[in-house]
Structure 1
Amino acid sequence: MTGLPRLQVEQTLRKLLSLHLLRPIGSVDSRLVPVSPEAAVAQLITPLEAEIRSYKEAAEQIRSDLSSLLPLYFERRQLRRPREAVDILDDAPTVVSVLARMAAQCKKEVMTIQPGGGRPSHILKEAVDRDRAMLARGVRMRVLYQHTARFSFPTQQYVSTIEEIGGEVRTVGELFGRMIIFDREAAFIPAHTGKDGAVLTREPSIVETLCGVFDQLWHGADPFTEPLADDLDDTKRTILQMLIEGNKDELIARRIGVSVRTCRRHIAELLQGMGANSRFQGGYLAASTGALTPSPRQTETQK
């Protein structure tokens, strides 16, 4: 006797049986024996995992089937509505697929802007094969990084490889955002909805404007492999300007393409160099002493 009400005992038994923690000894004997929780988990979870795998496989198949229609969709859309040729690519797999197709079809030129510091090594390894194939077809390749990318070893390796086979890479102090342009006909820019998405536009006026922005930045940029005499000065000049404007360290770090920690080190060095005891005093001294006067390279770029 358990001392528990019969109804409660029956409910408990049903619950344990449903969880596969009890099982009958045989088909005739009504006695029950306990089952290892590990074995019970296997009995309950295995069918669910198989069902999940089936759903994932079905989802991947649907994605693959529909992605195969993207080239036809974009081709017909361009012919049908050339003045409204703007598409939102919502997720990373779609962006990667469309980028790979555009790279394979590129015939004349590709222009790329990559803001921030160095890029992850696994992304650069994937890019090398794609870029090598374009360069082998005679495609002109120009890439813009920020100056801080010069200190990234994976980026240095990538640039060395690409420049050996005809690619051109330069750096500037600031960049406004990521962008890739193929044959001056189609441009990818980030989607505001999230970091994984992108916007693909073929609208001639938009693409021409973006090409103009790239060409202007390229004219004022420095070759990646050449030393910069005033690289640090330009970086600190940007920091000073943004400090005076009241920007936070996080925004300044994003603008110049470094970590917040590195940005704060630059700020400390700046204040120490000016003999300032506070950021407010540093801003006043910078404005009063003409520290924000453009460098010769910046002045030449603005002409």
Structure 2
Amino acid sequence: MLQSLGVSKEAEALYLVLAPLDKASPTELAELNNVTTEAAQETLVELQMLGLARPTGHGEWSPLSLLEAVRALRLQRLAEVDAASSAAESMYNRILAAAHNDAEEDINVLVGADAIIPVQVAICDNAKREICYFDKPPYVDDRHDSTPESLSASAPEWQALERGVVLRCVYHPGFDADRLSELSLFAARGEQSRTAQVPMKLLLADGEVALIPSMRSYEPGQELRASLVRHPQLVEALVWLFESVWDQSVPIMASTYNDPRRQMLVSMLMTGSTDGAIATQLGINVRSVRRWISELMDELGVTTRLQLGAALVRTDALKVKPPSR
């Protein structure tokens, strides 16, 4: 669960063993975690660098606060995402400038929804391996009847999932209830969903073609514009940008709870978000956030935020995954 924050699966597993203990030796942890003593020692050093464990002397180690460490890791990742966003803005300006000078039609400017939407559908229909998205409001094609049946008939991304194409999407924070409900359906169908600050709208297919809608063209009174990019070097740069933001984004745990807002609550708690930040993200007041957290603590049988963090890690690590489609 914590891989998006730079915590390896081995470190997370060892922390789950160490967290309930006051202290333990590498040998004891190795036996509890079914690994070698050398591997346990190496993983303890990793936990120390992450701020999740510390040596106490006599060859023993003690756990440190999960939430405090996750908050620090989150701040580091946010700084990295901000840097990637700045790079994206610079890259996008270069793409727009190149669009006016490219003689080989590696970049085409599309004007109007009637020109953009068919190209978007064609990109999804022709994808063979993977589709990657940055999803960010505003939207021009909101689907008000979001059911599996309607999405199967009208959404090219859903149809790609049905063909076995991998779909990865990073959603910008601040979705409304309708978008959350649709997100939940896509995640249940197999989409790999994460959330982070994304710099722009983006559609990538098979690392070969990209569609970049102009954010300014969504302003009132503007005509929609998008750039269709096939230039290999530019597409490669956009793939790098997507992977950079993806690596720093927060997984949305859509398989644990049916309520999409509860899913987002759990995801944000796992990144150490404050109650105020969660309230802003979900469009509710802080009192409602605290009530939901209290209900979650009751469900998991814990009494403190620290215990809640460890319980969420343990619950996600132990839950049964749905069969692959």
TM-score, normalised relative to structure 1: 0.45
Higher relative contact order (CA closer than 8 Å, sequence separation 6+): 2
**TM-score, scaled to structure 2:** 0.43
Which structure has the larger Rg over C-alpha atoms? 1
